[in-house]
């Protein structure tokens, strides 16, 4: 079968060059322009990477027009209601759903890695009590490479796998420790008899003074939220992890870079910003005023939790979370949350407003997730940490996929230079 190609013609000098068209399993093909500069002497320009594929990946597929999200081919709607989070973590990392034996073995391996080196408690004590938990998470995860010298041999598949397991296992422990540091309570050690989500809730809410057993509804809601946030193709934080990893940096430093990128309010930081926005709006009667602010080009205010670079339809994760909100708020004692009613009203008004309809701006994964986190007793400054706990699975899966590819090269974009022409140094006496 003849190779499919695309011809690029330079209308300035009339030259044309052909470039191969790469096709995936599903989704749009991509023209391979890696030889363009050598052939034609110019770069492509795509700030924000609106139409640029950075890699081949078999992990996650998104169809933004139709609101489709697949993890290794499985629809998110099925995984969210049928699988456990570690089952999905295994799927993302290894490419197939585990059988019973594989899942038990994987759960045991992750459980065995949940404890932290005792010296990390000194690191945590170095943070002021009111340090943002994302700052603590970013710093402590990046410091893990100081404890596992052998694991930073990124060319050894054995150490790549152990590092992936350590990160999946230890990020929840660090996250819960950051929360305990914030509230001045003692850090709770992980319990090997608890499942992943229940263990996280235990480390967050237990104290040495009394028994604590995580509630089944809370564990179920957390399991679902972790699955929904586990991966999302080449989003900003995952692309950050890949770019950092392309230089051969150790996996702990790469995931710390991903955490830093996720923290931004345009990305994972939006879930915390949504609750702040809903609190600021306060009442349904103020919604029109804030909708107008979101539409005003001179006003930096945006409707947080709305819009998406890829989804030009309802984010399938937001749909699922909205449904779970109803269930959790009905079943959790005292979790009656006026902010959820406000969010529903805000969504209803925005989705009928021409500005949002025209720009295909729908609620995204961050719009409702904070409502559930609040109902579970998780404070706002921990919302993006929750996102990072789940997304660690996606980050280590993409890092592993990239590092296992013998064709992997350092990522090094070019630019359009718009600085000064060459000029000579001027002595300070003449400036
Ligand atoms: C996540 O990439 C991923 O997959 C991310 C994520 C993941 O799982 O990893 O899905 C998680 O990060 C979800 C997004 C969370 N962020 C927010 O909710 C912040 C609010 N949303 C926006 O900042 C924005 O929608 C982005 C950042 C999400 C997407 O930005 P784009 O793709 O660069 O779109 P844009 O800024 O070019 O907006 C297009 C138009 C503009 O208006 P015009 O210039 O055409 O007139 O839509 C407007 C924007 O002003 N717009 C909004 C808006 N989002 C876009 N206007 C008001 N409120 C908004 N939220």
Query: What would the pLDDT profile of 145-158 be if each residue is shown by its tens digit?
Result: 999 987 779 999 99
**Residue spans of beta strands (DSSP E) within 205-359:** none
Stretch 1-29: mean pLDDT, rounded?
93
Nearest ligand 1 atom to the CA of 364 is: 13
pLDDT in tens, 162-209: 999 999 999 999 999 999 999 999 999 999 999 999 999 999 999 999
What backbone torsions phi and psi does residue 69 show, to the nearest 5 degrees? Answer: -140, 120
pLDDT of residue 333: 65
User: Which burial class, exposed, middle or buried, applies to 74 when counting CB atoms under 10 A from its CB (0-12, 13-18, 19+)?
Assistant: middle
364 lines ligand 1 (CB under 6 A): yes
CB 389 within 8 A of CB 226: yes
- Check if 366 is active-site: yes
| Cα–ligand 1 centroid distance for 262 (angstroms) | 14
Which residues share a beta bridge with 71? 60, 74
Residue 194 in contact with ligand 1 by CB distance below 6 A: no
Ligand 1 pocket test, candidate residues 225, 241, 307, 389, most atoms within 8 A of CB: 307
C-alpha 306 to ligand 1 mean position (Å): 7
Structure tokens of 119?
A: 């010296």
Across the chain, mean pLDDT equals 95
Residue 165 known to be catalytic: no
Interval between CA 304 and ligand 1 midpoint (Å): 8
Which residues face 7 on adjacent strands?
Answer: 18
Q: What's the predicted TM-score (pTM) here?
A: 0.96
pLDDT tier at 11 (50, 70, 90 boundaries)?
very high
């Amino acid at each position: 079968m003849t190779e499919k190609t695309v011809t690029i013609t330079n209308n300035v000098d009339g030259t044309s060059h052909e470039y191969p068209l790469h096709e995936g399993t599903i989704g749009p093909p991509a023209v391979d322009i890696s030889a363009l500069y050598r052939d034609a002497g110019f770069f492509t320009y795509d700030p924000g990477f609106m139409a640029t594929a950075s890699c081949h990946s078999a992990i996650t597929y998104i169809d933004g027009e139709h609101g489709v999200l697949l993890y290794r081919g499985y629809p998110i709607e099925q995984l969210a209601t049928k699988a456990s989070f570690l089952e999905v973590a295994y799927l993302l990392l290894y490419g197939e759903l585990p059988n019973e034996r594989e899942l038990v073995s994987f759960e045991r391996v992750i459980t065995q890695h949940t404890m932290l080196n005792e010296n990390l408690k000194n690191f945590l004590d170095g943070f002021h009590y009111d340090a943002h938990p994302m700052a603590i998470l970013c710093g402590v995860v990046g410091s893990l490479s100081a404890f596992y010298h052998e694991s930073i041999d990124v060319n050894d598949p054995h150490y790549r796998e152990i590092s992936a397991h350590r990160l999946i296992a230890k990020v929840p422990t660090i996250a819960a420790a950051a929360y305990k540091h914030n509230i001045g309570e003692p850090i709770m050690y992980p319990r090997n008899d608890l499942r992943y989500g229940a263990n996280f809730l235990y480390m967050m809410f237990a104290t040495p003074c009394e028994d604590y057993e995580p509630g089944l509804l809370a564990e179920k809601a957390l399991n679902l939220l972790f699955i929904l946030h586990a991966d999302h193709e080449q989003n900003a934080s995952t692309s950050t992890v890949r770019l950092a990893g392309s230089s051969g940096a150790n996996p702990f430093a790469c995931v710390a870079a991903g955490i830093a990128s996720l923290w931004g309010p345009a990305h994972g930081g939006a879930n915390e910003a949504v609750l702040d926005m809903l609190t600021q709006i306060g009442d349904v009667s103020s919604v029109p005023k804030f909708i107008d602010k979101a539409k005003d080009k001179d006003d930096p205010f945006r409707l947080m939790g709305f819009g998406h670079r890829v989804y030009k339809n309802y984010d399938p994760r937001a749909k699922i979370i909205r449904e779970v909100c109803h269930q959790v708020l009905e079943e959790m004692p005292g979790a009656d949350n006026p902010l959820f009613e406000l969010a529903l009203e805000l969504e209803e008004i925005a989705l009928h407003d021409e500005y949002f309809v025209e720009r295909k701006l729908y609620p995204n994964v961050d719009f409702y997730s904070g409502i559930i986190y609040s109902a579970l007793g998780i404070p706002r400054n921990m919302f993006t940490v929750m996102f990072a706990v789940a997304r660690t699975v996606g980050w280590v899966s993409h890092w592993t996929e990239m590092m296992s590819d013998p064709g992997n090269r350092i990522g090094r974009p070019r630019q359009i230079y718009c600085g000064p022409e060459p000029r000579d140094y001027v002595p300070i006496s003449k400036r």
